[in-house]
Structures are given as C-alpha cells and as structure tokens.
Amino acid sequence: GAVVSQHPSWVICKSGTSVKIECRSLDFQATTMFWYRQFPKQSLMLMATSNEGSKATYEQGVEKDKFLINHASLTLSTLTVTSAHPEDSSFYICSAFSGGKNIQYFGAGTRLSVL
C-alpha cells in the first residue's frame, strides 16, 4: 500500500510553546490531506481538510488560529499547534488521499504531550 510518513511520532513540550507535525506522502501526490485527533479508546475526529495551494477547511469547533495547517506542496502538509496547553495533549493523525487509487492512507500518528 501507499506510504504516508508522519513526523515526529512523539513530542513532549512545555505549555505555551508551538509544535509542528509533518505529514508526507512518499509515493504519490496528494492534493488533499486530512488531520485527525484521537482520544483514548475513541474513534478519529476530523479536525480539518488540507488542500494543496489553498486554505484549509476546518471542522466546526476547531480553532483555526490554534491549529495552523499548511499544504505547500503535493506531498507535504504540516499542522502547527500554537501556544500548546495540556488540554491539547492527544494523538494526532494525518492522512493523504490518493486520487489514483481513490483511497485515504494514514500516517502512524503523533503523540503530543504538553507539560
């Protein structure tokens, strides 16, 4: 299957700092990528849709100034959690949509711990 690389896999930061998470599609171009958040023992919650070359589309209740998304190329989208607080601690997962295969492939996830 197609490979989506997500980095870092785990990050610990102090409250008030910003954290950037990268999502790369390694063997296909993705005009659309997605960012999810997952709480323990719960399903994935879509945060935003990242569109190459345009602004991201955020789901209701997700603060766009808090979670900055940049999709500067067809293989890279980044999520920056700005001024992180302990309540932002969670598991963040990205996915990339392969138009050729009509399938959404997921990264391995990033565990964010804010102290």
Partner 1 sequence: QKEVEQDPGPLSVPEGAIVSLNCTYSNSAFQYFMWYRQYSRKGPELLMYTYSSGNKEDGRFTAQVDKSSKYISLFIRDSQPSDSATYLCAMRRVLTGGGNKLTFGTGTQLKVEL
Quick one: 13 or 44, whose CB is closer to partner 1? 44
**CB count, 10 Å around CB of 6?**
21
Q: Which pair of tokens denotes residue 24?
A: 């790369």
Between 46 and 82, whose beta carbon lies closer to partner 1?
46
Name the one residue in this structure whose structure tokens are 């999810």. 36
Counting contacts by CB under 8 A, is residue 60 touching partner 1? Answer: no
Positions in 32-51 near partner 1 (CB under 8 A): 32, 34, 41-44, 46, 49
Query: CA angle, 87 as apex, 36 and 20 as ends, to 5°?
Result: 55
Q: In angstroms, what is the minimal distance from the CB of 16 to partner 1? A: 26
Residue type, 50: S
- Residue 13 touching partner 1 (CB under 8 A): no
Q: How big is the chain by its Cα radius of gyration, in Å? A: 13
The residues binding partner 1 (CB under 8 A) are 1, 4, 6, 32, 34, 41-44, 46, 49, 91, 93, 95, 97, 102-109, 111
